[in-house]
Structure 1
């Protein structure tokens, strides 16, 4: 394949930290995060939701710890999780101490909200003793009063200044295992703040467009904001904030990274929007295939095109291709080459079988190479 320099993304250079056993920053893959929405005090419900998030590929999962009942359950939850957990702490520093002792891999805090320097020092000591990282979470909706008075409204300068103030609080206590987010629900504000912060600090950056909205609106908004940052090489870990189940956040996050060629996981589907030329119901076929192929973790590509206008061209670029034909017979492509026909009634089962077989072949090849 020819070199395509116009597709290259040069990631911002930054130092690396560890969140549990997951590296963040440096040359590590960009991680995908989400957050549970079950009551943390209900350990079983929270563990079940974590399992579902792990199944769709979540690298790191955040769990809110608003009260002592939550941190009491956190230890059991952390032991059951297969990925590192971030304890979400806002105002009460003791919740941070309890979560660190209970197995949190990272504490999400605003050091300025914790209280006195002595309390920040206690949180830092607990983090160091338990090998916790810290995520500084600056949000346009909860900026400090003095910054709002200084700037008049949330703006990129205010977000960055807040982040730098919080960073200094940690560095004053000789703590450097931190990552930073400067989130806003306004796409322009968030993107400008992240660009400014990226030029100022060398720590990993956690990307997010906060309170982005529902599944469709929030996906679009997040993709515009986070996508532009990722394309510019900014961002080391991401969370897509949606008013939807956390598993959907993970799926959208991976789709975003796949579209930019920054991560590969599962089947990347190339499909047409359908029209009167279609030889089969493209929309329903793609919906069914996406659901039935969710269990595939091996990176590969599948094209599903309703007719022969663009079908052959797209199929040449994918591992497996399907192009609609006449009289209920459709062409199947393997590695970009026409291979055989399939009848409409057998089409979905046949494509699923081909994808599963291809995934097994790829995995076997990886194992042999290792």
Structure 2
């Protein structure tokens, strides 16, 4: 696994404008400016105006759902659909291209869609593998995904471990490398844990794993002794207003931050949403939690904003004591431990000429997903 992208984010005042820049680094030296993360607004405007169009322009971490897509989600829930087949021919026939397109685009897109209105997903991936005259089916063990920002790295981990298992198997049993395998079909099994309809409070998801390991934030409950409920309501009202030119309330003495994803590197980072207090040690500070469509989901209080914003300096080579695998990123190491080193991955030998027949199928609209996904219902219409 490669080390997380090293970068920094700066603001510059140019005449009457405030310019945000994202810069990449290599070995401590600046390598390039990111072409997709520069934004410019009048210097007097709130910081959140830099990110106003993120949801519209960046589908790598936020999606848009219309009434048709929400009806599909309801059908998936009503028919208890948990298995989704990525159809043959949906992606180019070459195995490497199939794996690349499905891992970077098709599977993460499906999981983001299914994560709407959920507390978490429990997902596993299965590959149909042809090698010589044998067909096998490899399936990962389920992995819990509790924040939509973790979907990309979770899929990357599952794919990497599945391909490692397949490579070891075919080398041992067929004396062939992974390149001899043909993979053109896959199945994704997803169990959705939806929000409780009885709950009146806004569900607050866990932080992305990248920020959980920092241990610098905590869930903010209503009625907390640390902050009055009036201040919390004021913050929520400010966030949910959509008037672009509204003034910052003088009573709102808080600092707010939000998550953002770089369109180029797919790097997740934190940016200011509203800064109204210079004393960072004593000004109430929150990270704004949003769901997969960009809707406000709750607040998390940040106890140590310097630690929260700082690039993780403790990333080093981690060795798994169970399987001796090595990692240079604590997020990948945490995902590896969650999936128990791949010990519960399964493989079945199949009849190569067998045909799968499914009576209850729900084709997902290709104009939305780009790829031909079909849901397999366990309940009849």
Structure with higher RCO (Cα < 8 A, 6+ apart): 2
Q: TM-score range by the shorter chain?
A: under 0.3
Q: Identify, as 1 or 2, the structure richer in helix.
A: 1
TM-score under structure 1 normalisation?
Answer: 0.21
Q: Identify, as 1 or 2, the structure richer in strand.
A: 2
TM-score under structure 2 normalisation?
Answer: 0.20
